[in-house]
Structure 1
Amino acid sequence: MAALPLLNHLRVPVFCAPMFLVSDPHLVVAACTAGVVGTFNHLNARTAGDFERWMDEITARLDEARRADPRRTVAPFAVNVAVRRAPLEERYDHDMEVIREHEVPLVISMNGSPRRIAETVHGYGGVLIHDVPSVELARKAVDAGADGLIALCGGAGGHTGTASPFALVPQIRRFFDGPLALAGAVSDGRGIRAAQALGADYAYMGTRFIATQECGVPTAYKELLVSQGTEDVIATDAITGLQANFLRGSIVGAGLDPAALPVPKGLFQPAIPEDVKGWRDVWSGGHGVGLIDDIPSVAELVDRLRREYLATS
């Protein structure tokens, strides 16, 4: 395994994963100041101007936290970038320039080859991590310049993978000895330790961080994560046109029948009613919901994860 030097002082080896329409500066800063990597998708900032403001805010707040208490563990943050071209090309070019200007230490790429982003990130000394749901795509990402990988396994929230972590992570380790994170249903310290036992360096946790006080989603979403179990997570391509995990209660709440979801018209072309939007109206969650019983602060959650992690041999 090859943990990243800039992440040597994390309080627990965790990324608070970027979640579409969920992660924002408040959650990112809460995660980083609690001692884990905070991340957000660049398109969560709905305009180019918003993205610039978010970057300025996150940078300023983390700098202030470091100045206020030099002994405190303040983790670096990461920006998640969609590298697929149309229809987001204009935002991609603008946002990558902002990322370059801020010299963001970690960039997470998705939805396409990391090749087009690698030169920019490496040019200012940043680290590029790419998420992959298969061994084939992991090989391609490494060949295209990715410094690290995220193994997107079955049970992850959002656009999920399908492979078992027991198969995917060890297979990636056969040819890749760089930084590797495991995404998929990790909700506690035991899961973090298990990810490392498989060969990963970090756990990539999203759903568990939605049910925290600092997360800006509706309270009903957080309460649903507490009340629903793994059996309530439905993998379907009906909501976004690409297979993703969504919560049964949210599907029903949006007026849809989980047993009779419409077949999408094509990739990223769902056939659900136009006034129902994935992520905004139909909420996502991974299999780890079955381990969510409360809505703590991010700091309280990270403290708990650390205790559980250290107690698990």
Structure 2
Amino acid sequence: MSDVLPTAFASTTASALRERLKIPLIAAPMFKVSSPALVTAVCRAGAIGAFPSINARTPGLFDEWMRELGEALSVPTDDGSLPAPLAVNLLTHDSNPRFEPDFEIVCKWRAPIVITSVGRPEVVMDAVHDYGGLVFADVVSLHHARRAAACGVDGMVLLCAGAGGQTGRLNPMAFVEAVRQFYDGILIVAGGITRGHQLRAVENMGADLAYCGTRFIVTPESNAPADHKAAIIGAEIDDVWDSDAMSGIPASMLRSSLERLGLTPETRWLQEKREKYDWGSVKETPGVFSLGHGAGDIVKEESAASIIARMEEEYRRSATE
């Protein structure tokens, strides 16, 4: 544990988390897109930066990324405050061979927030809580939300209709209301969010934070290739298709890239349902671009800091309108 940089990876409680943020926002962890540069820029601008551990090609590189992030986030911002905490997204499904080595690195560096996806949050709970971290779990249904609540997670990411990449189909207002009947932890809403006044709306409906992913793809700090960024700039909401043909679970993708693979409105849902999520099929399918319903609100590339500053202004202005 001597490698841990406490100023960067200091633990936080659920009740104190909001106080460390300028706006109630998590820049969503995006496969192949979220980079250390993006996480650093987001955290230093006052929101939670998140990335999947598997974006680093090897566990060794993931370890190096965590060291670099620790150094970058130990430096106070211009106003003298510490940057916001980061979050590491772990794919906890059995099909991910990287889970165990990556989780060891998460614990070594004491990542303040761990977000579990496509698997069991309980496999990380004890270790993360032992070092003082928070565990959030992705959920797409009330069934999943009840299971996560029973595990004692600190927060849930409600993947609602319009979320980019892995997605859900539920209306966010109804989903939040249903989960609040039995859960009083942190709720994060994902799905089509690009504006500061939408963050205020998320709070008004009873949630605590929002995910924003697609907007941060079109930034100089992201690892997205130029054609992915250009596709988002040129996309409208009707250009987003949800399909389970990539992995066996629903995901939001660019319509034209799925059509190039031969998929149609009739075939974009698997006829022979897979019994298990297949991580390998996601990893090995090139040229398929993920995006959410918020793509239609994106018309140019902007820095992460500029996006957050604008969202902060919109968020504050919405409180007085």
Q: TM-score if structure 1 supplies the norm length?
A: 0.90
Q: How many residues align?
A: 303
Q: Kindly indicate whether the alpha-carbon contact (under 8 Å) linking 1:7 and 1:75 is maintained by their aligned counterparts in 2.
A: no
User: Offset of 1:268 from its aligned partner?
Assistant: 4.1
Amino acid at match of 1:286: G
Residue of 306, 312, 316 corresponding to 1:310: 316
Amino acid at match of 1:295: E
Go from structure 1 to structure 2 and tell me whether the alpha carbon gap of 1:48 and 1:32 turns closer, same or farther (over 3 Å shift).
Answer: same
* Residue in 2 that maps onto 1:14: 25
Go from structure 1 to structure 2 and tell me whether the alpha carbon gap of 1:112 and 1:224 turns closer, same or farther (over 3 Å shift).
Answer: same
Q: Equivalents in 1 of 2:209, 2:92: separation in Å?
A: 23
Residue of 73, 85, 100 corresponding to 1:62: 73
List runs of 5+ in structure 2 lacking aligned partners. Answer: 1-12
Residue of 138, 145, 149 corresponding to 1:131: 138
Taking the TM superposition and a 5 Å limit, the aligned residue runs for 1:99-118 are 99-118=106-125
**Alpha-carbon RMSD:** 2.2
SS in 1 for 2:216: helix
* Residue in 1 that maps onto 2:62: 51
Q: TM-score if structure 2 supplies the norm length?
A: 0.88
Residue of 173, 185, 189 corresponding to 1:178: 185
* Residue in 1 that maps onto 2:234: 227
User: Offset of 1:7 from its aligned partner?
Assistant: 3.5
- 2:223 is the alignment partner of 1:216: yes
Deviations 1:120-163 (A, max 9, x none): 10110111111111122111101112111111111100110010
Q: Equivalents in 1 of 2:204, 2:18: separation in Å?
A: 19
Q: Equivalents in 2 of 1:40, 1:87: separation in Å?
A: 16
User: Sequence identity of aligned pairs in percent?
Assistant: 37
Q: Equivalents in 2 of 1:269, 1:33: separation in Å?
A: 35
Go from structure 1 to structure 2 and tell me whether the alpha carbon gap of 1:151 and 1:260 turns closer, same or farther (over 3 Å shift).
Answer: closer
* Residue in 2 that maps onto 1:81: 90
- 2:158 is the alignment partner of 1:151: yes
Which range moves more in the overlay, 4-13 or 187-196?
Answer: 4-13
Q: Kindly indicate whether the alpha-carbon contact (under 8 Å) linking 2:32 and 2:223 is maintained by their aligned counterparts in 1.
A: no
Q: Kindly indicate whether the alpha-carbon contact (under 8 Å) linking 1:114 and 1:144 is maintained by their aligned counterparts in 2.
A: yes
Go from structure 1 to structure 2 and tell me whether the alpha carbon gap of 1:194 and 1:147 turns closer, same or farther (over 3 Å shift).
Answer: same
Q: Equivalents in 2 of 1:44, 1:261: separation in Å?
A: 30
